[in-house]
Structure 1
Amino acid sequence: MVELNISGVHFELDEGIKGYVEKKIGVMDKYVPRNERGASRGEVVLSEEEGKSKNRYTCDVTLYMPHETITAQESTVSIYAAVDIVEEKLKTQLLKHKDKQQNDRQRRRSIRMLKQFRGRR
């Protein structure tokens, strides 16, 4: 589970919201590459903006990994909807990052194999 720092701006956090955020965002480590899991941490900032007709809630998440920082932000009229949308955005970005690293590793492995093959002649 990714270590999360959850804070609220102009917004009182209760245990229900904290638990929901930890359940949704905290399990993102399965999308983080294995070699970066131990050093990954995240910051979640939940804020409330009062408008003329309705309040808007913003969820801003930043995941810090050794070689990359991934951010996602969403504003809606429901704090739970904002967390859900940010979860999907993070999942998409993390899958792209993980795929890019795996392709890099495969390319390096194939170059190493090619060098070994050429050295045998």
Structure 2
Amino acid sequence: MHYNIRGENIEVTPAIREYVEKKVGKLERYFDTTPIADVNVKLQILGNSESSIEVTIPMPKLLLRGEETNADMYAAIDIVVEKLERQIRKHKTKVNRKFRQEGSLKYMFKNELESLSDGSEEEDSDDLDVVRTKRFNLKPMDAEEAILQMDMLGHSFFVFSDAESGSTNVVYRRKDGKYGLIESEA
């Protein structure tokens, strides 16, 4: 894995860099082979003297992402790595249950567990001004796969291309904790 560690309002010292690489490197044990991926780490000191870390690991057919804020930078690093480990364990188990037939997806995890389809989400602000735009390819999947990907990313909605109809659909988390599906009409 290739590490891209940057800091905002903080100097990324060799000690912090080494600690991040050591802790995030622990995630390699969940994969059959060392993933060829960029690890994007953003360290930040917030106005109230709290430390924030954001880790994004885009891989083929899988996106790992975690954020944490803590008074201590090293504690924040530990917690975000634990979150990423929980994401991997939780979702590889769900995916393994769903996709038992061989050849449906590429095997990525140890113990022949399979990966999720890739995708990301668009983010909007509460204002009417668009402050961020994301572009991504819609991968064909069913609603259950899209829900798994949405949960893994920690977002409240997910845009995807329906594998059967090819239409663009959206899954979302409802206030009651259940899920909704918005289907487009031709």
**TM-score, normalised on structure 1?**
0.74
Structure 1 residue ranges without an equivalent (≥5): 110-121
Taking only aligned residues, the RMSD between alpha carbons, in angstroms, comes to: 1.8
1:77-88 correspondence to structure 2 within 5 Å: 77-88=71-82
Which residue pairs with 1:50 in the alignment?
A: 47
Structure 2 residue ranges without an equivalent (≥5): 103-186
What do the CA deviations read for 1:84-118 (whole angstroms, capped 9, x no partner)?
A: 0001000011122333454456x214xxxxxxxxx
**Contact 1:31–1:98, Cα closer than 8 Å, also in 2:** no
Moved over 6 A (4+): none
1:106-117 correspondence to structure 2 within 5 Å: 107-109=100-102
**Contact 2:35–2:59, Cα closer than 8 Å, also in 1:** no
**TM-score, normalised on structure 2?**
0.50
| Secondary structure, counterpart of 2:101 in structure 1 | helix
| Secondary structure, counterpart of 1:38 in structure 2 | coil
**Contact 2:28–2:35, Cα closer than 8 Å, also in 1:** no
Identity within the alignment, %? 33
- Given the superposition, is the C-alpha separation of residues 84 and 38 from structure 1 closer, same or farther in structure 2, using an over 3 Å criterion? closer
Q: Distance in 1 between matches of 2:35 and 2:25?
A: 13
Larger of the two Rg values belongs to structure: 1
Which residue pairs with 2:93 in the alignment?
A: 99
Which residue pairs with 1:30 in the alignment?
A: 29
Larger relative contact order, structure 1 or 2 (CA cutoff 8 Å, min sep 6): 1
More helix by share: 1
